[in-house]
Chains A and B, each alone.
Chain A
Amino acid sequence: MESKKILIVIGILVAVVLVMGALIGPLSGTIDLDGSEEPSYSVEDKTGEKLEFEEPPERIVSFMPSNTELLFYLEVGDRVVGVDDYSDYPEEARELPNVGDSEGVNYEKIVDLEPDVVVISEAVVNMREYLENYGLKSFVTGGNTLEDVYSDLELLGEMCGVPERGEDKAQELRSRMDEITEDTRDIPEEERIDVLYISGIFQGINTPGEGTFQNTLLTDAGFNNIASDKSGWATISEEEIIDRDPEMIIAPDHLEPQVSEYTEKDSWKNITAVEEDRIHFVDGDVISRPSPRLVDAQEVLVDLLESAETTSAYLINTWSFHCKEEVKA
């Protein structure tokens, strides 16, 4: 009796599956990216994936603020039909429909915008799998260095069917950078000011080391990055910071409250930068995004170096003045 009932139950369940299977059977698997027409060109993105295009994409969804800035810098902003929630530059990008952020991607919205390609970056490369499921192409930008920003411009230019413009824009950016750092990038090691750049506060203090665009910016601006022996964005302990004794601390402005919590600590008060009150906050959007606006960040850093040089000169002068006073007395 009992086993009969079980059989009936299982039977019903199997029937349900079969009905559902019949309903949605053709849906298993994924949508094929249609390759009906001959592709006229192909571009390899930062992951080495080859993307084929029949014609330049006319509708682009840009995920990541840096990608949005790159696309607008390339003068293809009019093709961008949707951006992530954090894309706020240039002004036109604010008007565009938002498609979520990395913690909550609004795939429905992305699909609804019917983009020819979605530009994502290495940090959110796992989105590619999902987008493929919905039959959408994704183009991955990224990398940590300044060179990567230039090559992103070139690759995006190629993808958008304006390869020459991409190269020109990259070259333009490169020469502007060179111009800005002309007087600073060759400052000899021993004359450089030791700087700590705080890029984030997550499970400790994060700082850019070797192979990051921020390390390059700092070095070219004439600073000595005290974390340049580390690789990538790394954590630096408070002990290391006290030991390496930076003469200046720079951080993005959105970190001001957290950084101040550290710099007001008793254990930090003998650090030269804290003692001489040389803690500077710069526009976080400009210095944190691998985008063309890094030239603005570079200008700010070069200015900071100059201001540091004048203040130290000022300090030396006042100190010698005090000495003279003492001698007189």
Chain B
Amino acid sequence: MNHPLKKHFKKSLVAFAALTLVTLVISLSLGSVHIPFKSIVEILISRLPYMGHYYPSYPDARSTIILYIRLPRILLGFIAGISLAVSGSSMQGVFKNPMASPFILGVSAGGVLGTAVGIFFGIWWPLLPLMAFIFAMGTVFTVFFLGRVKGTTDITTLLLAGLAMNFMMTALTSLILFYSDPTDRMSIVAWTWGSLSGTIWNEVWITLTVALIGSALVYAYARDLNVMQTGEISAKQLGIDVEKTKIIQLVAASLLAAVVISFTGIIGFVGLIIPHASRLLVGPDHKKLIPISALLGGIFLVTCDTVSRMSGEIWVGVITGLFGAPFFIYLLIRNRGETGW
């Protein structure tokens, strides 16, 4: 197998972390309004504790643009990228299948339905992620149990069940949108293709907390996931509680995807291709795979969203698809027959 970064995991982790920083800085300095780099640095420094004395805070429009429009949006994009990529890695590990992803198993559609139900009944907005989580988890466990045939997971049944749930959830969402008041009707397109426009700080804090808890849970059971890849029977013989691991992983994965989706709509492709790309780079070891996936997912989504911001708000899911698919095909051709599994 050809995993270019497998032997240099620590170095590549540092390299990706550095790349993350570069991406965040570049993306912060790009936007429809030109703001000189020097001003951006001054605006940021003025907000550091104890620095306000040396750099008086900028009360003007520039400062609002950087601190209240660009920064929260970029951070949410980064956190969303992490969450979706880790969620995808976890699902692919649990189902031992390269097709598994929050999108394909209907988790995304379930999350959107939960959010739409919440908005329809006018519940308090901080509870929307919870609604999304409940519906997403309902979907993933339905798919999971439908896919179980005689104690093992039948992949064909699982994917078909995911497909069916996906259609049903999407149809129910459209039904709610059809009956909702046109003036507060959410844009169906924005929900289907995702958008990070208009992010507020509270959304950043909520997704950050969830991303940390969810990713920590997934990472904590990374070793068990590794052992499970060799077969559930041998994993059981090695003393691993396979069922418990699966359930924890699925809850964490649904949580990660659902909370992001409740704020951004469905951003496809990140949860599918980023884990794959990472697997091609560092191999199937989840302890390496998950951190690399997380960083790669964050970088990828921030980059795509920057393109979205610069292009007059094309939905970010459109861009993840446009960029992601060709890159993924390139990786497939390069590693023909060697998908890393």
Check if A123 sits within 8 Å of B60, measured CB to CB: no
**Residue numbers in B under 8 Å from A9 (CB-CB):** 216, 219-220
Check if A100 sits within 8 Å of B313, measured CB to CB: yes
State whether the Cβ of A188 lies closer than 8 Å to any Cβ in chain B: no
Check if B313 sits within 8 Å of A17, measured CB to CB: no
State whether the Cβ of A327 lies closer than 8 Å to any Cβ in chain B: no
**Residue numbers in B under 8 Å from A126 (CB-CB):** 184
State whether the Cβ of A237 lies closer than 8 Å to any Cβ in chain B: no
State whether the Cβ of A35 lies closer than 8 Å to any Cβ in chain B: no
**Residue numbers in A under 8 Å from B220 (CB-CB):** 6, 9
State whether the Cβ of B14 lies closer than 8 Å to any Cβ in chain A: no
Please measure, in the bound complex, the distance between the C-alpha atom of A106 and the C-alpha atom of B197, giving whole angstroms. 9
State whether the Cβ of B239 lies closer than 8 Å to any Cβ in chain A: no
**Residue numbers in A under 8 Å from B47 (CB-CB):** 23-24, 26-27
Check if A28 sits within 8 Å of B202, measured CB to CB: yes
Check if A17 sits within 8 Å of B208, measured CB to CB: yes
Stretch at the interface among A130-138, A174-182, A250-258: A130-138
Please measure, in the bound complex, the distance between the C-alpha atom of A9 and the C-alpha atom of B309, giving whole angstroms. 33
Please measure, in the bound complex, the distance between the C-alpha atom of A15 and the C-alpha atom of B49, giving whole angstroms. 17
Q: How far is the CB of B287 from chain A (nearest CB, A)?
A: 9
User: Known contacts A13-B212, A100-B313, A114-B61; is A27 also within 8 Å of B223 by CB?
Assistant: no
Check if B201 sits within 8 Å of A104, measured CB to CB: no
State whether the Cβ of B15 lies closer than 8 Å to any Cβ in chain A: no
Check if A31 sits within 8 Å of B202, measured CB to CB: no
Q: How far is the CB of A126 from chain B (nearest CB, A)?
A: 7
Please measure, in the bound complex, the distance between the C-alpha atom of A13 and the C-alpha atom of B79, giving whole angstroms. 13
Residue among A20, A105, A125 making CB contact with B183, cutoff 8 Å: A125
Check if B67 sits within 8 Å of A27, measured CB to CB: yes
Q: Which residue of B lies closest to A13 (CB)?
A: B212
Interface centre among B64, B71, B189, B309 (most CB of A within 10 A): B64
Check if A22 sits within 8 Å of B33, measured CB to CB: no
User: Known contacts A23-B47, A100-B313, A109-B33; is A31 also within 8 Å of B68 by CB?
Assistant: yes
User: Known contacts A108-B31, A108-B65, A135-B64; is A29 also within 8 Å of B183 by CB?
Assistant: no
Check if B219 sits within 8 Å of A6, measured CB to CB: yes
Please measure, in the bound complex, the distance between the C-alpha atom of A22 and the C-alpha atom of B183, giving whole angstroms. 39
State whether the Cβ of B146 lies closer than 8 Å to any Cβ in chain A: no
Chain B residues 86 to 106 lying within 8 A of chain A, measured CB to CB, are none
Please measure, in the bound complex, the distance between the C-alpha atom of A22 and the C-alpha atom of B50, giving whole angstroms. 11
State whether the Cβ of B160 lies closer than 8 Å to any Cβ in chain A: no
Check if A112 sits within 8 Å of B61, measured CB to CB: yes
Residue among B33, B202, B216 making CB contact with A29, cutoff 8 Å: B202
**Residue numbers in B under 8 Å from A91 (CB-CB):** none
How many A-B contacts if CB must be within 8 Å? 95
Please measure, in the bound complex, the distance between the C-alpha atom of A29 and the C-alpha atom of B32, giving whole angstroms. 24
Check if B312 sits within 8 Å of A30, measured CB to CB: no
Check if B60 sits within 8 Å of A114, measured CB to CB: yes
Chain A residues 89 to 110 lying within 8 A of chain B, measured CB to CB, are 100, 103-109
Check if A103 sits within 8 Å of B189, measured CB to CB: yes
**Residue numbers in A under 8 Å from B184 (CB-CB):** 125-126
Please measure, in the bound complex, the distance between the C-alpha atom of A27 and the C-alpha atom of B67, giving whole angstroms. 8
**Residue numbers in A under 8 Å from B215 (CB-CB):** 13
State whether the Cβ of B205 lies closer than 8 Å to any Cβ in chain A: yes
Residue among A2, A14, A106, A134 making CB contact with B32, cutoff 8 Å: A106
Check if B68 sits within 8 Å of A134, measured CB to CB: yes
Check if B64 sits within 8 Å of A30, measured CB to CB: no
Check if B64 sits within 8 Å of A111, measured CB to CB: yes
Residue among B31, B49, B190, B202 making CB contact with A22, cutoff 8 Å: B49
User: Known contacts A100-B313, A111-B65; is A2 also within 8 Å of B200 by CB?
Assistant: no
Please measure, in the bound complex, the distance between the C-alpha atom of A31 and the C-alpha atom of B32, giving whole angstroms. 22
Check if A112 sits within 8 Å of B65, measured CB to CB: yes
User: Known contacts A23-B47, A24-B47, A100-B312; is A108 also within 8 Å of B70 by CB?
Assistant: yes
Chain A residues 1 to 16 lying within 8 A of chain B, measured CB to CB, are 2, 6, 9-10, 13-14
Please measure, in the bound complex, the distance between the C-alpha atom of A23 and the C-alpha atom of B67, giving whole angstroms. 11
Q: How far is the CB of B40 from chain A (nearest CB, A)?
A: 13
Q: Which residue of A lies closest to B314 (CB)?
A: A104
**Residue numbers in A under 8 Å from B202 (CB-CB):** 28-29
State whether the Cβ of A122 lies closer than 8 Å to any Cβ in chain B: yes
Q: How far is the CB of A77 from chain B (nearest CB, A)?
A: 22
Q: How far is the CB of B281 from chain A (nearest CB, A)?
A: 21
**Residue numbers in A under 8 Å from B219 (CB-CB):** 6, 9
Please measure, in the bound complex, the distance between the C-alpha atom of A315 and the C-alpha atom of B67, giving whole angstroms. 70
State whether the Cβ of B332 lies closer than 8 Å to any Cβ in chain A: no
4 nearest A-B pairs in the assembled complex, by CB-CB distance: A104-B313, A112-B33, A130-B198, A108-B33
28 contacts between A and B (CB under 8 A): A6-B216, A6-B219, A6-B220, A9-B219, A10-B216, A13-B212, A20-B208, A23-B47, A23-B48, A24-B201, A27-B68, A29-B201, A31-B64, A103-B187, A104-B313, A105-B313, A106-B32, A106-B312, A107-B69, A108-B32, A108-B65, A108-B70, A109-B33, A112-B33, A112-B61, A114-B60, A133-B198, A135-B64
